[in-house]
Structure 1
């Protein structure tokens, strides 16, 4: 078997600009290109330009069921959740300490895709 690597993720959006504003504002993702669709740089651990998130205009007849996109590590889950709530975004689960050593919350993007926001909990030696 050859080498496998993750390149990026495509999501189908009702309003590409609205979704781009959400991801740029929420996660600070940087726009790489825009030609009807919008590509955002999706940083990965150790590689700030590691992958991409392509926001593609959903066309009539395309049936897309929003799903969990993945986990994004942030500096302050509670602060970000409060900011998102104040901006009118739907929080699908409140910040909660998890037994695997992180504090997590979930938020829905403008199209209903769910993102997990994760913050490492301080260790006993910290």
Structure 2
């Protein structure tokens, strides 16, 4: 495993400390390029970068009880991990998984995605289950579903 984080940049926090801090349900996405994935999350989803380097990032959207946090790890950080065999060139990552970001305006996210040239699978629409939502593909092929409750 070859790290790309500059030697003079401190890590987010020691990995064991961060691991012990995690609660509830967590999402970790393997990505080809961390800075590119961070740019998508910030520009399209309105996420805030908690920490980022070329190997790893932590992103957050919302505050308080509506806060969502997720991690990104670059493929190269996984060394000989068995998941890497499933992420080869051209692989569609996350097939069958919707990454739902509650409280993220789907109309605004679609507009930002289009402006940045990202794939919009489905425009924002009101759904019978009480949400307005859209489906947007990120640079690694993960499908993000920003949604807000219908009034």
Structure 2 equivalent of residue 99 of structure 1: 128
Asked whether 1:119 is paired with 2:137, we answer no
- Gap regions ≥5 residues in structure 1: none
Q: Displacement, 1:83?
A: 2.3
Which protein is richer in strand relative to its size? 1
Q: Secondary structure at the match of 2:27?
A: strand
Over 3 Å counting, the alpha-carbon distance change for 1:47 and 1:17 in structure 2 is same
| SS of 2:107 mapped into structure 1 | helix
Give ranges in structure 2 of 5+ residues lacking alignment: 1-22
- In 2, Cα distance between equivalents of 1:96 and 1:16: 30
Question: CA–CA distance in 1 between the matches of 2:101 and 2:44?
Answer: 10
RMSD of aligned alpha carbons: 2.4
> Helix, strand or coil: the match of 2:42?
helix
Indicate yes or no: 2:119 matched with 1:90.
Answer: yes
2:45 counterpart (19, 27, 36):
27
C-alpha distance in structure 1 between counterparts of 2:32 and 2:121, whole Å: 20
**What is the aligned residue count?**
116
Q: Secondary structure at the match of 2:99?
A: strand
**What TM-score do you get using the length of structure 2 for normalisation?**
0.65
Cα deviation 1:68-95 (Å, max 9, x = unaligned)? 2421124532232122112101001122
Aligned counterparts of 1:10 and 1:27: Cα–Cα separation in 2: 17
For 1:14-56, what per-residue CA distance to the aligned partner results, in whole angstroms no more than 9, with x for missing partners? 11100011112223322222342112235476153xx531111
